[in-house]
Structure formats: structure tokens, C-alpha cells
Amino acid sequence: MLEASRRGGARRALQLVVDEPMETGQGRGLLVAVIAGVLAGAIDPNTARAIGYLLQIDRQLAESDELARRLDAVELVVVKGDLE
């Protein structure tokens, strides 16, 4: 393992596909699967920690998008002066 680290790591490069953001249920499902994997010893806790961190970033981005949409709607009402 030490030799593999010297050569740049034992992991293979992955081709990542840019996809649509996960829905809330998908993120929770992934989290449940990761927890089960850690408890079963199939997933390293450090890997699980990284996945949890990335899920947290995804959630924060989703919240930012939602706030931006809501702010746009409020600005539209204010600019139009339309308080239906």
C-alpha cells in the first residue's frame, strides 16, 4: 500500500458524469446505504465521512437555489408593484 501511495495512489481514475442534482429522497437513501455499509464494514469510515460532507454541500446548494428563486419572485412583485 505504501508503494502504491508513492506512485500516486492505488485508486483508479473515475470518469465522472455530470448529472442532475439529487432529490431529497435520493440523498437520504444514499445516506442510509452509506451508514449500513459502514456498520457492515463494507465502507471505510473516512469514505463515509467524505460522502456525508458532499451530501451536506449538495443540500446547501439546493437551499441556495430555493432562496434565489424566492427572492426573484419577491423582486418581481416589488418591481411590478403588483401585490395580488
- Report the distance separating Cα 31 and Cα 76, nearest Å: 37
- Report the distance separating Cα 65 and Cα 32, nearest Å: 25
- Domains of the chain by residue range: 22-80
77's grid cell = 412583485
80's grid cell = 411590478
pTM of the model as a whole: 0.67
Question: In a structure prediction context, what are the per-residue pLDDT tens digits for the chain, which is 84 residues long?
Answer: 455 555 555 566 667 677 888 888 888 999 999 999 999 999 999 999 999 999 999 889 989 999 999 999 999 988 887 555
- SS3 percent helix, strand, coil of the chain, rounded to 5, is 70, 0, 30
- What pLDDT is attached to residue 80? 81
10-33 burial by CB neighbour count: b if 16+ within 10 A, else e?
eeeeeeeeeeeeeeeeebeebeee
